[in-house]
Amino acid sequence: MGLSASAPWIKYYGNTPANLNYPHKTMYELLAATAKQYPDNTAYVFMGKKTSYADFMKRIEAAAKGLYEMGIRKGDKVTICMANTPQALDCFYGLNRIGAIPNMIHPLSAAKEIAFYLNFSKSKAIMTLDQFYYKVAEILPELENPTEILIAKVSDELPLPLKALYPISSNARAIKKLPKTGYTLWYDMVARGKRAQLPPHDGKYDECAAILYSGGTTGTTKGIMLSNLNFNALGLQTIAASGYPSVAGMKMLSVMPVFHGFGLGIGIHTALIGGATCILIPQFNVKIYADTLIKQKPNLIPGVPTLFEALLRAPSLEGQDLSFLKGIFSGGDSLSPELKKKVDAFLKDHNCSEQIREGYGTTECVTASCLTPKDYARDRSIGVPFPDTFYKIVKPGTREEVDANTEGEVCISGPTVMLGYMDNPEETANTLRSHHDGRIWLHTGDLGYMDQDGFVYFRQRIKRMIVTSGYNVYPSQLENIIDGHEKVLLSCVIGVKDDYRGQRLKAYVVPMPGIEPTEELKQEILSYCSGHIAKYAMPRELEFRKELPKTLVGKVAYRVLEEEANAALEGK
Protein backbone atom coordinates (compact mmCIF):
# COMPACT_ATOMS: atom_id res chain seq x y z
CA MET A 1 0.00 0.00 0.00
CA GLY A 2 1.13 3.57 -0.59
CA LEU A 3 2.84 5.51 2.16
CA SER A 4 1.13 7.99 4.47
CA ALA A 5 1.72 9.65 7.83
CA SER A 6 2.76 6.31 9.34
CA ALA A 7 6.03 6.33 7.36
CA PRO A 8 9.37 6.84 9.20
CA TRP A 9 9.71 10.49 8.21
CA ILE A 10 6.61 11.44 10.25
CA LYS A 11 9.02 12.35 13.04
CA TYR A 12 10.06 15.38 10.98
CA TYR A 13 6.55 16.80 11.35
CA GLY A 14 7.13 17.29 15.08
CA ASN A 15 3.73 17.29 16.82
CA THR A 16 1.74 16.30 13.75
CA PRO A 17 -0.90 13.70 14.64
CA ALA A 18 -1.78 10.89 12.29
CA ASN A 19 -5.42 9.87 11.78
CA LEU A 20 -6.76 13.38 12.33
CA ASN A 21 -10.34 13.46 13.54
CA TYR A 22 -12.14 15.28 10.74
CA PRO A 23 -15.35 16.89 11.99
CA HIS A 24 -18.55 16.08 10.16
CA LYS A 25 -19.20 19.76 9.56
CA THR A 26 -19.64 22.07 6.61
CA MET A 27 -17.13 24.79 5.83
CA TYR A 28 -19.53 27.34 7.31
CA GLU A 29 -19.89 25.36 10.54
CA LEU A 30 -16.14 24.92 10.98
CA LEU A 31 -15.57 28.61 10.30
CA ALA A 32 -18.32 29.53 12.79
CA ALA A 33 -16.62 27.40 15.44
CA THR A 34 -13.33 29.22 14.81
CA ALA A 35 -15.08 32.60 14.98
CA LYS A 36 -16.63 31.62 18.31
CA GLN A 37 -13.17 30.75 19.64
CA TYR A 38 -11.43 33.85 18.24
CA PRO A 39 -14.17 36.50 17.80
CA ASP A 40 -11.80 39.44 18.12
CA ASN A 41 -9.06 38.07 15.85
CA THR A 42 -8.83 39.74 12.45
CA ALA A 43 -10.31 37.41 9.81
CA TYR A 44 -9.03 39.43 6.86
CA VAL A 45 -7.40 42.68 5.89
CA PHE A 46 -8.29 44.38 2.61
CA MET A 47 -6.35 47.44 1.50
CA GLY A 48 -5.56 48.16 5.15
CA LYS A 49 -9.15 47.70 6.38
CA LYS A 50 -9.56 45.02 9.06
CA THR A 51 -12.59 42.78 9.65
CA SER A 52 -12.85 40.68 12.81
CA TYR A 53 -14.12 37.10 12.85
CA ALA A 54 -17.26 38.23 14.69
CA ASP A 55 -18.01 40.86 12.05
CA PHE A 56 -17.13 38.44 9.25
CA MET A 57 -19.78 36.00 10.48
CA LYS A 58 -22.34 38.84 10.48
CA ARG A 59 -21.40 39.65 6.89
CA ILE A 60 -21.77 35.99 5.88
CA GLU A 61 -25.21 35.82 7.48
CA ALA A 62 -26.24 39.04 5.68
CA ALA A 63 -24.96 37.69 2.36
CA ALA A 64 -26.82 34.40 2.89
CA LYS A 65 -30.05 36.28 3.63
CA GLY A 66 -29.66 38.42 0.50
CA LEU A 67 -28.97 35.39 -1.69
CA TYR A 68 -31.91 33.53 -0.14
CA GLU A 69 -34.22 36.49 -0.66
CA MET A 70 -33.08 36.53 -4.31
CA GLY A 71 -34.26 32.94 -4.69
CA ILE A 72 -31.08 30.94 -4.22
CA ARG A 73 -31.77 27.62 -2.50
CA LYS A 74 -29.92 24.52 -1.36
CA GLY A 75 -28.22 22.79 -4.30
CA ASP A 76 -28.39 25.82 -6.61
CA LYS A 77 -25.21 26.93 -8.34
CA VAL A 78 -23.94 30.51 -8.30
CA THR A 79 -20.87 31.46 -10.32
CA ILE A 80 -18.29 33.57 -8.49
CA CYS A 81 -16.16 35.40 -11.05
CA MET A 82 -14.15 37.54 -8.64
CA ALA A 83 -10.75 38.68 -7.51
CA ASN A 84 -9.71 38.35 -3.84
CA THR A 85 -12.13 40.83 -2.25
CA PRO A 86 -14.26 40.72 0.92
CA GLN A 87 -17.46 40.32 -1.13
CA ALA A 88 -16.06 37.18 -2.76
CA LEU A 89 -15.52 35.62 0.68
CA ASP A 90 -18.93 36.77 1.91
CA CYS A 91 -20.58 35.17 -1.11
CA PHE A 92 -18.59 31.93 -0.95
CA TYR A 93 -19.39 31.24 2.70
CA GLY A 94 -22.88 32.75 2.41
CA LEU A 95 -23.70 30.19 -0.27
CA ASN A 96 -22.33 27.43 1.95
CA ARG A 97 -24.57 28.69 4.77
CA ILE A 98 -27.69 28.01 2.67
CA GLY A 99 -26.34 24.85 1.05
CA ALA A 100 -25.89 26.38 -2.40
CA ILE A 101 -22.79 25.63 -4.51
CA PRO A 102 -20.24 28.25 -5.61
CA ASN A 103 -18.97 27.75 -9.17
CA MET A 104 -15.51 29.34 -9.13
CA ILE A 105 -14.08 30.85 -12.33
CA HIS A 106 -11.32 33.24 -13.40
CA PRO A 107 -12.51 36.89 -13.72
CA LEU A 108 -10.21 37.29 -16.75
CA SER A 109 -11.95 34.45 -18.58
CA ALA A 110 -12.97 35.32 -22.12
CA ALA A 111 -16.67 36.01 -22.69
CA LYS A 112 -17.20 32.70 -24.50
CA GLU A 113 -15.58 30.84 -21.62
CA ILE A 114 -17.88 32.52 -19.10
CA ALA A 115 -20.88 31.47 -21.19
CA PHE A 116 -19.61 27.88 -21.17
CA TYR A 117 -19.10 27.85 -17.38
CA LEU A 118 -22.56 29.33 -16.72
CA ASN A 119 -24.31 26.87 -19.04
CA PHE A 120 -22.26 23.91 -17.85
CA SER A 121 -23.03 24.57 -14.19
CA LYS A 122 -26.59 25.75 -14.80
CA SER A 123 -25.86 28.72 -12.57
CA LYS A 124 -28.79 30.81 -11.41
CA ALA A 125 -26.59 33.88 -10.89
CA ILE A 126 -23.10 35.20 -11.49
CA MET A 127 -21.23 37.55 -9.17
CA THR A 128 -18.49 39.68 -10.68
CA LEU A 129 -16.83 43.09 -10.41
CA ASP A 130 -18.22 46.20 -12.11
CA GLN A 131 -15.28 46.29 -14.51
CA PHE A 132 -16.36 42.94 -15.98
CA TYR A 133 -20.08 43.72 -16.32
CA TYR A 134 -20.12 44.32 -20.06
CA LYS A 135 -18.20 41.11 -20.77
CA VAL A 136 -20.88 39.16 -18.91
CA ALA A 137 -23.78 41.15 -20.38
CA GLU A 138 -22.73 40.40 -23.95
CA ILE A 139 -23.12 36.64 -23.51
CA LEU A 140 -26.60 36.74 -21.94
CA PRO A 141 -28.26 35.69 -25.25
CA GLU A 142 -26.09 32.56 -25.25
CA LEU A 143 -27.17 31.42 -21.80
CA GLU A 144 -29.52 28.47 -21.54
CA ASN A 145 -31.10 29.56 -18.24
CA PRO A 146 -32.16 32.93 -16.77
CA THR A 147 -29.12 34.29 -14.93
CA GLU A 148 -29.04 37.14 -12.42
CA ILE A 149 -25.97 39.38 -12.59
CA LEU A 150 -24.62 40.53 -9.23
CA ILE A 151 -22.13 43.40 -9.36
CA ALA A 152 -19.63 44.12 -6.60
CA LYS A 153 -17.44 47.21 -6.43
CA VAL A 154 -13.94 47.28 -4.95
CA SER A 155 -14.56 50.88 -3.86
CA ASP A 156 -17.28 49.72 -1.44
CA GLU A 157 -14.69 47.92 0.68
CA LEU A 158 -11.94 50.54 0.81
CA PRO A 159 -11.04 52.33 4.05
CA LEU A 160 -12.18 55.97 4.14
CA PRO A 161 -9.00 57.73 2.95
CA LEU A 162 -8.65 55.42 -0.07
CA LYS A 163 -12.40 55.43 -0.71
CA ALA A 164 -12.41 59.23 -1.01
CA LEU A 165 -9.55 59.20 -3.49
CA TYR A 166 -10.70 56.16 -5.50
CA PRO A 167 -12.99 58.03 -7.99
CA ILE A 168 -10.00 59.96 -9.38
CA SER A 169 -7.68 56.94 -9.51
CA SER A 170 -6.59 55.40 -12.80
CA ASN A 171 -8.36 52.15 -11.84
CA ALA A 172 -11.68 53.93 -11.40
CA ARG A 173 -11.31 55.92 -14.62
CA ALA A 174 -10.66 52.71 -16.55
CA ILE A 175 -14.03 51.22 -15.55
CA LYS A 176 -16.83 51.89 -18.01
CA LYS A 177 -19.92 53.40 -16.37
CA LEU A 178 -22.63 50.87 -15.58
CA PRO A 179 -26.03 51.14 -17.26
CA LYS A 180 -29.06 51.87 -15.10
CA THR A 181 -30.57 48.38 -15.39
CA GLY A 182 -29.61 44.79 -16.17
CA TYR A 183 -27.93 43.85 -12.89
CA THR A 184 -28.20 44.00 -9.10
CA LEU A 185 -25.55 45.66 -6.99
CA TRP A 186 -24.18 43.31 -4.33
CA TYR A 187 -24.96 45.62 -1.43
CA ASP A 188 -28.47 46.30 -2.71
CA MET A 189 -29.05 42.55 -2.66
CA VAL A 190 -27.67 42.34 0.89
CA ALA A 191 -29.90 45.22 1.99
CA ARG A 192 -33.01 43.56 0.53
CA GLY A 193 -32.33 40.42 2.55
CA LYS A 194 -32.23 42.07 5.98
CA ARG A 195 -35.70 40.84 6.91
CA ALA A 196 -35.31 37.40 5.32
CA GLN A 197 -35.70 34.36 7.56
CA LEU A 198 -33.08 31.74 6.80
CA PRO A 199 -33.94 28.07 7.38
CA PRO A 200 -31.70 26.17 9.83
CA HIS A 201 -28.33 25.21 8.37
CA ASP A 202 -28.63 21.59 7.22
CA GLY A 203 -25.57 21.16 5.02
CA LYS A 204 -23.80 17.79 5.00
CA TYR A 205 -20.07 17.32 5.37
CA ASP A 206 -19.88 14.92 2.42
CA GLU A 207 -21.98 16.81 -0.15
CA CYS A 208 -20.69 19.02 -2.96
CA ALA A 209 -19.67 22.42 -1.61
CA ALA A 210 -17.87 24.01 -4.57
CA ILE A 211 -16.99 23.47 -8.22
CA LEU A 212 -13.50 24.24 -9.50
CA TYR A 213 -12.16 23.56 -12.98
CA SER A 214 -9.42 21.44 -14.47
CA GLY A 215 -8.65 19.67 -17.70
CA GLY A 216 -8.83 16.24 -16.09
CA THR A 217 -6.77 13.44 -17.61
CA THR A 218 -7.84 14.19 -21.19
CA GLY A 219 -7.12 17.94 -21.27
CA THR A 220 -10.77 18.90 -21.77
CA THR A 221 -12.53 21.18 -19.28
CA LYS A 222 -13.99 19.36 -16.31
CA GLY A 223 -16.00 20.66 -13.37
CA ILE A 224 -14.45 19.25 -10.20
CA MET A 225 -16.99 18.62 -7.43
CA LEU A 226 -15.38 19.18 -4.04
CA SER A 227 -17.07 18.48 -0.72
CA ASN A 228 -17.06 20.26 2.62
CA LEU A 229 -14.90 17.42 3.95
CA ASN A 230 -12.39 17.93 1.11
CA PHE A 231 -11.85 21.58 2.07
CA ASN A 232 -11.95 21.05 5.84
CA ALA A 233 -9.58 18.08 5.74
CA LEU A 234 -7.18 20.05 3.54
CA GLY A 235 -7.14 22.91 6.04
CA LEU A 236 -6.53 20.67 9.04
CA GLN A 237 -3.88 18.66 7.20
CA THR A 238 -2.08 21.79 6.00
CA ILE A 239 -1.95 23.24 9.52
CA ALA A 240 -0.65 19.92 10.87
CA ALA A 241 1.98 19.67 8.12
CA SER A 242 3.07 23.29 8.57
CA GLY A 243 5.17 22.39 11.58
CA TYR A 244 3.31 24.78 13.88
CA PRO A 245 0.85 23.50 16.52
CA SER A 246 -1.46 26.42 15.65
CA VAL A 247 -1.68 29.23 13.09
CA ALA A 248 -4.13 31.29 15.17
CA GLY A 249 -3.06 34.93 15.18
CA MET A 250 -0.66 34.43 12.28
CA LYS A 251 -1.08 36.36 9.03
CA MET A 252 -1.43 34.63 5.66
CA LEU A 253 -0.60 36.50 2.45
CA SER A 254 -3.67 35.52 0.40
CA VAL A 255 -2.35 36.52 -2.99
CA MET A 256 -3.25 33.31 -4.84
CA PRO A 257 -6.68 33.83 -6.45
CA VAL A 258 -9.93 32.70 -4.87
CA PHE A 259 -10.97 30.73 -8.00
CA HIS A 260 -7.78 28.62 -7.76
CA GLY A 261 -7.66 25.56 -5.48
CA PHE A 262 -4.38 26.75 -3.98
CA GLY A 263 -5.74 30.23 -3.26
CA LEU A 264 -9.16 29.15 -2.02
CA GLY A 265 -8.18 25.98 -0.17
CA ILE A 266 -4.98 27.12 1.54
CA GLY A 267 -4.67 30.90 1.13
CA ILE A 268 -8.19 31.46 2.45
CA HIS A 269 -10.01 28.46 3.98
CA THR A 270 -7.01 27.00 5.81
CA ALA A 271 -6.18 30.40 7.28
CA LEU A 272 -9.78 31.09 8.34
CA ILE A 273 -10.52 27.77 10.04
CA GLY A 274 -7.17 28.11 11.81
CA GLY A 275 -7.90 31.53 13.31
CA ALA A 276 -5.31 33.28 11.16
CA THR A 277 -5.66 36.54 9.21
CA CYS A 278 -6.01 36.60 5.42
CA ILE A 279 -4.26 39.57 3.80
CA LEU A 280 -6.39 39.82 0.66
CA ILE A 281 -4.54 40.93 -2.49
CA PRO A 282 -6.95 41.47 -5.42
CA GLN A 283 -4.28 42.03 -8.04
CA PHE A 284 -0.65 40.95 -8.05
CA ASN A 285 2.34 42.94 -9.18
CA VAL A 286 5.87 43.15 -7.81
CA LYS A 287 5.38 46.58 -6.20
CA ILE A 288 2.15 45.63 -4.40
CA TYR A 289 3.75 42.37 -3.29
CA ALA A 290 6.83 44.10 -1.84
CA ASP A 291 4.82 46.91 -0.24
CA THR A 292 2.50 44.39 1.43
CA LEU A 293 5.42 42.44 2.83
CA ILE A 294 6.91 45.60 4.31
CA LYS A 295 3.67 47.05 5.71
CA GLN A 296 1.64 43.98 6.70
CA LYS A 297 4.48 41.59 7.63
CA PRO A 298 2.70 38.31 6.84
CA ASN A 299 3.96 35.15 8.53
CA LEU A 300 2.82 32.63 5.92
CA ILE A 301 3.07 32.86 2.13
CA PRO A 302 1.63 30.18 -0.17
CA GLY A 303 2.37 30.84 -3.84
CA VAL A 304 3.58 29.65 -7.22
CA PRO A 305 7.30 29.85 -8.14
CA THR A 306 6.80 33.12 -10.07
CA LEU A 307 5.61 34.74 -6.86
CA PHE A 308 8.87 33.94 -5.14
CA GLU A 309 10.91 34.89 -8.16
CA ALA A 310 9.33 38.32 -7.77
CA LEU A 311 11.03 38.63 -4.38
CA LEU A 312 14.34 38.75 -6.17
CA ARG A 313 13.17 41.59 -8.44
CA ALA A 314 11.77 43.96 -5.82
CA PRO A 315 14.19 46.87 -5.19
CA SER A 316 12.21 48.07 -2.17
CA LEU A 317 13.00 44.83 -0.31
CA GLU A 318 16.70 45.56 -0.33
CA GLY A 319 17.93 45.68 3.27
CA GLN A 320 14.51 44.77 4.70
CA ASP A 321 14.23 42.48 7.74
CA LEU A 322 12.04 39.51 6.74
CA SER A 323 12.37 37.61 10.01
CA PHE A 324 8.57 37.73 10.37
CA LEU A 325 8.22 35.04 7.67
CA LYS A 326 7.53 31.66 9.30
CA GLY A 327 6.32 29.57 6.38
CA ILE A 328 7.01 29.94 2.64
CA PHE A 329 5.18 27.32 0.57
CA SER A 330 5.58 26.80 -3.18
CA GLY A 331 3.11 24.85 -5.32
CA GLY A 332 1.08 25.02 -8.52
CA ASP A 333 4.16 24.39 -10.66
CA SER A 334 7.59 22.80 -10.36
CA LEU A 335 10.10 24.80 -8.36
CA SER A 336 13.46 24.58 -10.08
CA PRO A 337 16.45 23.76 -7.86
CA GLU A 338 18.09 26.94 -9.17
CA LEU A 339 15.22 29.17 -8.09
CA LYS A 340 14.98 27.45 -4.70
CA LYS A 341 18.67 28.16 -4.05
CA LYS A 342 18.25 31.81 -5.02
CA VAL A 343 15.15 32.32 -2.87
CA ASP A 344 16.67 30.52 0.12
CA ALA A 345 19.80 32.70 -0.17
CA PHE A 346 17.63 35.82 -0.44
CA LEU A 347 15.69 34.87 2.70
CA LYS A 348 18.89 34.20 4.63
CA ASP A 349 20.35 37.54 3.51
CA HIS A 350 17.20 39.24 4.81
CA ASN A 351 17.33 37.74 8.30
CA CYS A 352 14.78 34.97 7.66
CA SER A 353 15.70 31.56 9.03
CA GLU A 354 13.08 29.74 6.93
CA GLN A 355 13.59 28.04 3.56
CA ILE A 356 11.06 27.78 0.77
CA ARG A 357 9.14 24.51 1.09
CA GLU A 358 7.88 22.84 -2.07
CA GLY A 359 4.61 20.93 -2.23
CA TYR A 360 2.49 19.16 -4.79
CA GLY A 361 -1.16 18.51 -5.48
CA THR A 362 -3.96 18.72 -8.02
CA THR A 363 -7.32 20.48 -8.09
CA GLU A 364 -8.88 17.01 -7.95
CA CYS A 365 -7.81 16.97 -4.28
CA VAL A 366 -8.46 20.71 -3.85
CA THR A 367 -4.75 21.55 -4.04
CA ALA A 368 -1.76 20.42 -1.96
CA SER A 369 -1.48 16.85 -0.70
CA CYS A 370 2.28 16.66 -0.26
CA LEU A 371 4.78 19.05 1.36
CA THR A 372 8.46 19.28 2.21
CA PRO A 373 8.76 18.80 6.00
CA LYS A 374 9.96 21.78 7.99
CA ASP A 375 13.77 21.94 8.06
CA TYR A 376 14.09 18.65 6.22
CA ALA A 377 14.28 18.97 2.44
CA ARG A 378 15.64 16.44 -0.01
CA ASP A 379 17.13 17.65 -3.25
CA ARG A 380 14.51 17.85 -6.05
CA SER A 381 11.83 16.24 -3.87
CA ILE A 382 8.33 17.72 -3.59
CA GLY A 383 8.09 16.43 -0.02
CA VAL A 384 6.06 13.78 1.76
CA PRO A 385 2.31 13.08 1.81
CA PHE A 386 0.10 15.04 4.20
CA PRO A 387 -1.09 13.23 7.33
CA ASP A 388 -3.84 10.72 6.47
CA THR A 389 -3.07 11.03 2.76
CA PHE A 390 -1.63 8.03 0.96
CA TYR A 391 0.59 8.10 -2.12
CA LYS A 392 1.19 5.18 -4.45
CA ILE A 393 3.27 4.96 -7.63
CA VAL A 394 1.83 2.58 -10.24
CA LYS A 395 2.78 1.38 -13.67
CA PRO A 396 1.03 3.87 -16.02
CA GLY A 397 -2.33 2.64 -17.24
CA THR A 398 -2.56 0.01 -14.48
CA ARG A 399 -3.23 -0.43 -10.75
CA GLU A 400 0.08 -2.25 -10.33
CA GLU A 401 2.28 -0.63 -7.66
CA VAL A 402 5.97 -0.30 -8.53
CA ASP A 403 9.00 -0.53 -6.26
CA ALA A 404 10.62 2.41 -4.48
CA ASN A 405 12.70 4.69 -6.74
CA THR A 406 10.84 3.41 -9.81
CA GLU A 407 9.09 5.93 -12.04
CA GLY A 408 5.36 5.57 -12.60
CA GLU A 409 2.03 7.37 -12.31
CA VAL A 410 1.37 9.23 -9.05
CA CYS A 411 -1.84 8.11 -7.33
CA ILE A 412 -3.40 9.70 -4.23
CA SER A 413 -5.95 8.46 -1.69
CA GLY A 414 -7.35 10.38 1.25
CA PRO A 415 -10.09 12.69 2.56
CA THR A 416 -9.32 15.53 0.14
CA VAL A 417 -9.93 13.49 -3.03
CA MET A 418 -12.82 14.95 -5.05
CA LEU A 419 -16.34 13.57 -5.30
CA GLY A 420 -15.91 13.37 -9.08
CA TYR A 421 -16.26 15.33 -12.30
CA MET A 422 -19.63 17.01 -12.71
CA ASP A 423 -21.88 15.23 -15.23
CA ASN A 424 -18.99 13.16 -16.52
CA PRO A 425 -19.11 9.61 -15.12
CA GLU A 426 -16.73 8.27 -17.78
CA GLU A 427 -13.91 10.67 -16.90
CA THR A 428 -14.64 10.20 -13.20
CA ALA A 429 -14.32 6.41 -13.53
CA ASN A 430 -11.08 6.88 -15.48
CA THR A 431 -9.59 9.10 -12.75
CA LEU A 432 -11.00 7.64 -9.51
CA ARG A 433 -10.27 3.91 -9.43
CA SER A 434 -10.77 1.26 -6.78
CA HIS A 435 -7.60 -0.76 -6.14
CA HIS A 436 -7.13 -4.21 -4.60
CA ASP A 437 -6.59 -2.59 -1.18
CA GLY A 438 -10.20 -1.40 -1.19
CA ARG A 439 -9.26 2.29 -1.36
CA ILE A 440 -10.35 4.76 -4.02
CA TRP A 441 -7.25 6.19 -5.71
CA LEU A 442 -6.98 9.39 -7.71
CA HIS A 443 -4.89 8.74 -10.82
CA THR A 444 -3.21 12.11 -11.35
CA GLY A 445 -1.80 11.64 -14.83
CA ASP A 446 1.59 12.77 -13.47
CA LEU A 447 4.82 10.79 -13.54
CA GLY A 448 7.06 10.55 -10.51
CA TYR A 449 8.64 8.20 -8.04
CA MET A 450 8.90 7.70 -4.29
CA ASP A 451 12.07 6.80 -2.45
CA GLN A 452 12.39 4.21 0.30
CA ASP A 453 11.58 6.82 2.99
CA GLY A 454 8.39 8.08 1.36
CA PHE A 455 9.75 11.28 -0.20
CA VAL A 456 8.03 11.99 -3.52
CA TYR A 457 9.70 13.23 -6.70
CA PHE A 458 7.76 14.77 -9.58
CA ARG A 459 9.06 14.12 -13.09
CA GLN A 460 6.56 15.21 -15.75
CA ARG A 461 2.92 15.13 -16.77
CA ILE A 462 1.54 12.17 -18.65
CA LYS A 463 -1.22 14.36 -19.98
CA ARG A 464 -0.17 17.19 -22.24
CA MET A 465 -0.48 20.38 -20.25
CA ILE A 466 1.36 23.68 -19.96
CA VAL A 467 1.72 25.48 -16.62
CA THR A 468 2.18 29.24 -16.96
CA SER A 469 2.40 31.37 -13.80
CA GLY A 470 0.80 28.51 -11.88
CA TYR A 471 -2.24 28.15 -14.17
CA ASN A 472 -2.94 24.95 -16.06
CA VAL A 473 -3.39 25.51 -19.81
CA TYR A 474 -4.39 22.70 -22.15
CA PRO A 475 -2.90 23.14 -25.66
CA SER A 476 -5.59 21.07 -27.35
CA GLN A 477 -8.25 23.55 -26.22
CA LEU A 478 -6.29 26.51 -27.59
CA GLU A 479 -5.56 24.69 -30.85
CA ASN A 480 -9.27 23.99 -31.32
CA ILE A 481 -9.97 27.71 -30.95
CA ILE A 482 -7.17 28.82 -33.29
CA ASP A 483 -8.12 26.19 -35.87
CA GLY A 484 -11.62 27.66 -35.80
CA HIS A 485 -10.36 30.79 -37.57
CA GLU A 486 -11.37 30.69 -41.22
CA LYS A 487 -7.84 31.44 -42.45
CA VAL A 488 -6.11 28.79 -40.33
CA LEU A 489 -5.44 25.30 -41.62
CA LEU A 490 -3.60 23.86 -38.66
CA SER A 491 -2.05 24.99 -35.39
CA CYS A 492 0.06 23.72 -32.54
CA VAL A 493 0.55 25.38 -29.15
CA ILE A 494 3.61 24.67 -27.03
CA GLY A 495 5.22 25.89 -23.83
CA VAL A 496 8.54 27.72 -24.03
CA LYS A 497 10.81 28.13 -21.01
CA ASP A 498 10.35 31.46 -19.30
CA ASP A 499 12.32 32.62 -16.25
CA TYR A 500 9.32 34.47 -14.82
CA ARG A 501 6.25 32.44 -15.80
CA GLY A 502 7.87 29.01 -15.87
CA GLN A 503 6.53 28.60 -19.40
CA ARG A 504 5.02 31.03 -21.90
CA LEU A 505 2.72 30.01 -24.71
CA LYS A 506 3.73 29.97 -28.35
CA ALA A 507 1.46 29.09 -31.27
CA TYR A 508 2.60 27.70 -34.62
CA VAL A 509 0.08 28.31 -37.39
CA VAL A 510 -0.23 26.96 -40.91
CA PRO A 511 -2.47 29.32 -42.95
CA MET A 512 -5.10 28.02 -45.35
CA PRO A 513 -3.88 27.48 -48.93
CA GLY A 514 -3.62 30.79 -50.79
CA ILE A 515 -3.48 32.87 -47.58
CA GLU A 516 -0.29 34.87 -47.13
CA PRO A 517 1.33 34.79 -43.65
CA THR A 518 1.44 38.53 -43.01
CA GLU A 519 1.73 40.65 -39.88
CA GLU A 520 -1.87 41.72 -40.47
CA LEU A 521 -2.99 38.09 -40.43
CA LYS A 522 -1.07 37.48 -37.21
CA GLN A 523 -2.86 40.37 -35.48
CA GLU A 524 -6.20 39.21 -36.89
CA ILE A 525 -5.72 35.72 -35.42
CA LEU A 526 -4.54 37.06 -32.07
CA SER A 527 -7.51 39.42 -31.92
CA TYR A 528 -9.81 36.50 -32.67
CA CYS A 529 -8.17 34.48 -29.90
CA SER A 530 -8.59 37.26 -27.34
CA GLY A 531 -12.37 36.91 -27.65
CA HIS A 532 -12.25 33.18 -26.91
CA ILE A 533 -9.22 32.64 -24.68
CA ALA A 534 -8.56 33.91 -21.15
CA LYS A 535 -5.83 36.53 -20.88
CA TYR A 536 -3.48 34.28 -18.88
CA ALA A 537 -3.80 31.53 -21.54
CA MET A 538 -3.20 33.75 -24.57
CA PRO A 539 -0.21 32.79 -26.77
CA ARG A 540 2.52 35.42 -26.39
CA GLU A 541 4.11 34.45 -29.68
CA LEU A 542 2.69 33.33 -33.02
CA GLU A 543 4.85 31.92 -35.77
CA PHE A 544 3.69 30.92 -39.24
CA ARG A 545 4.87 27.66 -40.81
CA LYS A 546 4.23 26.12 -44.20
CA GLU A 547 3.81 22.78 -42.46
CA LEU A 548 4.23 21.28 -39.00
CA PRO A 549 6.49 18.34 -38.15
CA LYS A 550 4.71 15.00 -37.85
CA THR A 551 5.27 11.75 -35.99
CA LEU A 552 5.42 8.41 -37.80
CA VAL A 553 1.70 7.93 -37.24
CA GLY A 554 0.86 11.37 -38.65
CA LYS A 555 0.30 13.32 -35.44
CA VAL A 556 1.77 16.81 -35.03
CA ALA A 557 5.16 16.34 -33.33
CA TYR A 558 4.73 19.06 -30.72
CA ARG A 559 7.80 17.88 -28.83
CA VAL A 560 9.95 18.67 -31.90
CA LEU A 561 8.59 22.23 -31.86
CA GLU A 562 9.23 22.46 -28.10
CA GLU A 563 12.84 21.35 -28.59
CA GLU A 564 13.36 23.81 -31.47
CA ALA A 565 11.91 26.75 -29.54
CA ASN A 566 13.84 26.04 -26.35
CA ALA A 567 17.07 25.37 -28.26
CA ALA A 568 16.67 28.71 -30.05
CA LEU A 569 16.13 30.36 -26.67
CA GLU A 570 19.30 28.85 -25.25
CA GLY A 571 21.24 29.89 -28.35
CA LYS A 572 20.44 33.59 -27.83
Rounded to whole angstroms, the Cα distance separating 329 from 299 reads: 11
Determine the Cα–Cα distance for residues 102 and 92; give it in Å rounded to an integer: 6
247, 300 Cβ separation under 8 angstroms = yes
8 A C-beta contact, residue 59 and residue 51: yes
**CB 184, CB 76: distance < 8 Å:** no
Residue 559 has pLDDT above 60, yes or no: yes
- Inform me whether the pLDDT recorded for 215 exceeds 70: no
Going through 362-487 in order, the beta strands assigned E by DSSP cover 368-371, 384-385, 390-394, 408-413, 420-421, 432-434, 440-450, 456-461, 466-468, 471-473
Q: Which residues partner with 330 through β-bridges?
A: 303, 358
Residue ranges of the alpha helices (H) in 102-213?
111-121, 133-137, 160-165, 170-173, 186-192
Torsion of CA 237, 233, 366, 149, to 10 degrees: -130
496: Cβ–Cβ under 8 A, 6 or more apart, which residues?
503, 504, 505, 506, 541, 562, 565, 566, 569
The model's pLDDT over 334-373, given as tens digits with 9 standing for 90+, comes to 787 878 888 999 999 999 999 999 999 999 999 999 999 9
CA 567 to chain CA mean position, Å: 31
Summarised one tens digit per residue, pLDDT across range 304-332 is 888 888 888 888 999 999 999 999 999 88
State pLDDT tens for residues 3-22.
443 333 333 333 333 445 79
Sheet holding 541-544, edge to edge: 488-498, 502-511, 541-544
Beta bridge partners of 411: 392, 443
Spatial separation of the C-alpha atoms in residues 354 and 357, rounded to whole Å: 9
Q: What is the pLDDT of residue 572?
A: 59
Q: Give the separation between CA 267 and CA 284, rounded to whole angstroms.
A: 14
Q: Which residues pair with 434 in a beta bridge?
A: 440
Nearest to 80 by CA among 118, 50, 116, 54: 118
What is the pTM (predicted TM-score) of this model? 0.85
Q: Please report which confidence band the pLDDT of residue 551 belongs to, taking 50, 70 and 90 as the band edges.
A: low
pLDDT at 554 over 60: no
Query: What Å distances lie between residue 238 and 208, 244, 268, 386, 448, CA to CA?
Result: 21, 10, 12, 7, 22
Work out the number of other CB atoms within 10 angstroms of the CB of residue 18: 13
CA proximity to 283, closest of 161, 91, 154: 154
pLDDT digit string (tens) for 400-417? 999 999 999 999 999 999
Residue 521: its H or E element: helix 519-530
Mean pLDDT in residue range 143-161: 93
Mean pLDDT on 384-412: 95
CB 268 within 8 A of CB 367: no
What's the CA gap between 513 and 279, in Å, rounded?
Answer: 54
